[in-house]
Structure formats: structure tokens, C-alpha cells
Chain A
Amino acid sequence: QITLKESGPTLVKPTQTLTLTCTFSGFSLNTKGVGVGWIRQPPGQALEWLGTIYWDDDKRYRPSLKSRLTITKDTSKNQVVLIMTNMDPVDTATYFCAYRRRLDIVWRPFDYWGQGTLVTVSS
């Protein structure tokens, strides 16, 4: 059974750096064709993809946020970490991590999601 869970601070101040951890079970990020992504959702708004890290350490980021984002993985701990610098109140959102996999040569969408963690940016 695949599960993911986000953890980290619920409140950060403007200009601070946010570090969120996604701890997962039921799969390994050493397995070919697997990826973990981060998606956020401001209160009452739509979903916004932030970035994805793949089994081969390939990383893809949202271009508009690329300079502020870093995603890393620790396969020994079954964790993926999201770092977002220079936080602003507009970054207030629920942050989700999610799993996706490749079947043969085609990718499935994110099919397992964590419950999400609400991060508020305020002084």
C-alpha cells in the first residue's frame, strides 16, 4: 500500500526559507520509472504543480519558481524534501506531495497523494 505524508512548519515569516519533508512507504525512489512531485493549493484556489523528482535524480521545476525551489531525495529514509526560499504571503497554501509512475513507456498522472500540510506565511 502506497502512502505519503508531508511534514514541516505550519507558519513561516516572509523572506524565510520553507523546508517540507514528504515521507513515503510502499515504493522505492530507487525503482526505475517512479517520481514524487510537489503540488500546492492556496486556500479556495486551484492546484499548482511545483516540481517533481524522479528515480534517476532528474528534477523538473515550475519555471516561474525555479530560482526559489530545490527538491532532493533520500532513498535510505524514503523521503523527498522541498526547499522554497524567500517565502511571501502569496505562498500561503496547502502543500501536497504525490506519487507517479511509468508503465512501459507511458506515464500515469499523480495517483497517490499525501493529506497535505497547510503553510501560512505571515509576520
Chain B
Amino acid sequence: DIVMTQSPDSLAVSLGERATINCKSSQSLLYGSNNQSYLAWYQQKPGQPPKLLIYWASARESGVPDRLSGSGSGTDFTLTISSLQAEDVAVYYCHQYFDALPTFGRGTKLEIK
């Protein structure tokens, strides 16, 4: 299995400040045919299903605010929220869909300081 390691487990950030969540995969997620990393980020709020935010490590899903961005390639990835808003409070998961056995990180709980 490809292990996805997220850090930190939880994060408290002031409104308007930057939040950064990291994700490391145990093997490269880079797909040679299109030079994209098969890494996605999801946001999950209590009682709701996960919502896709970012795919191919940095492609923003339609409707996702541009203050949320993804970066990285290969094995190291980052989700950045440039200016935290109240509605960003949630648990964030990274997810690799490179392998025949898709796996998720353990999640990062983002709160307001």
C-alpha cells in the first residue's frame, strides 16, 4: 500500500492568515504519460461527505475559491489556504489515486485560533 502521511494532525490559524498542510507519499505519484501527480485534496465538514478541492496535485476543482491551492510533485505535496475564512474550518485529507489501491491520509483538522 502507498502510505500517505499528513502533517500536522491539527492546525489553528487566525482569520485572514495562511494555513499550510503537508502530505508525503511513500512512493512517487508521478504518472509518466502526462507528467501529473495523482494526488488529490478533499475537505470534509461534520456530517458531510468529502468535497474534492484539488486534483493532479495542483488543479483546482470548479467552484473552489482561489485562496485554496495545491502544490508539489512526486512524493511531497502541500495544500495552502492563503487567507483563512471561517468557512474553511474542516478536516482536510490528501488522497493518492495513482495505485490500484487508493489510499487517504489520516486528515488534518483546521480550526480558527
Q: Are B97 and A107 in contact (CB under 8 A)?
A: yes
Interface size class of A (residues with CB under 8 A): 20 to 34
Interface string of B87-113 (1 = CB under 8 A from A): 000000101010011111111000000
In the complex, what distance in Å separates the CA atom of A98 from the CA atom of B102? 13
A114 at interface, CB cutoff 8 A: yes
- Nearest CB on A from B2, distance (A): 11
The answer on a CB contact under 8 Å between A46 and B107 is yes
Known: A47-B93, A49-B102, A105-B33. 7 other contacts (CB 8 A): A47-B42, A47-B50, A96-B49, A106-B36, A109-B95, A110-B50, A113-B51
Q: A96-B49, A109-B95, A116-B49 are in contact. Are A49 and B101 (CB under 8 A)?
A: yes
Render B47-77 as a binary contact track against A, CB cut-off 8 A, 1 for contact: 0111110010000010000000000000000
Asked whether any CB of chain B lies closer than 8 Å to the CB of A63, the reply is yes
Q: Are B52 and A46 in contact (CB under 8 A)?
A: no
The reply to whether the CB of B40 lies closer than 8 angstroms to some CB of chain A is: yes
Residues of B within 8 A of A (CB): 31, 33-34, 36, 38, 40, 42, 48-52, 55, 61, 93, 95, 97, 100-107
A49 and B104 contact, Cβ closer than 8 Å, known pairs A109-B95, A115-B49: yes
A113 and B50 in contact, given A47-B93, A106-B31, A106-B34 (Cβ under 8 angstroms): yes
Report Cα–Cα, A108/B28, bound state, in Å: 17
- Chain B residues contacting A62 (CB-CB under 8 Å) are 101
Query: A74 on the interface (CB 8 Å rule)?
Result: no
